[in-house]
Amino acid sequence: MEKELAELNAKIKTLSLRVKKTNEVLQKDDRAALERHRASLESVVTAVATLTESLEEKKFAKGEDEQTVQEGAEEFEESVDEADECMRQLASKIELIDRKSKHEAVVFEHKQAIALENEKIEQQREAKERAYAEELAFE
């Protein structure tokens, strides 16, 4: 159990380091970096949760009462909650980037449609001018 506790503490420190790095990553508009950081946080949170559950089971097996086990897990839960908030922020930023990208694509397509329509109007105008010039030349 001591080995698992030491491993859990190492994972908590790793999680804390990654949580601290979140603000730096959020400043970037790099979707890939945001996704990578979110996945990294998720991976460590999963490992922390698994280790915490394992330790809780072993403590119960040793005969510790529920309140004692719960008090021991609170420290880890706070770290996980903080990481969960970071993952929500990252997901929100990713969603914002995706919406911005979609908006830019729609604007681009709209501009292309307008340009195409203007080109058609110009061709029609030129055709009318040619027809009028031919009519004048014929008279």
Digits of tens for pLDDT over the chain (139 positions)?
788 888 988 999 999 999 999 999 999 889 999 999 999 999 999 999 998 888 888 888 888 777 777 777 787 888 899 999 999 999 999 999 999 999 999 999 999 999 999 999 999 999 999 988 888 887 7
Asked if 35 contacts 87 with a C-beta cutoff of 8 angstroms, the reply is: no
Q: What is the pTM of this model?
A: 0.74
5: Cβ contacts below 8 Å, ≥ 6 apart: 55
For 51, residues 6+ apart whose C-beta sits below 8 A from its C-beta are 4, 7, 8, 11
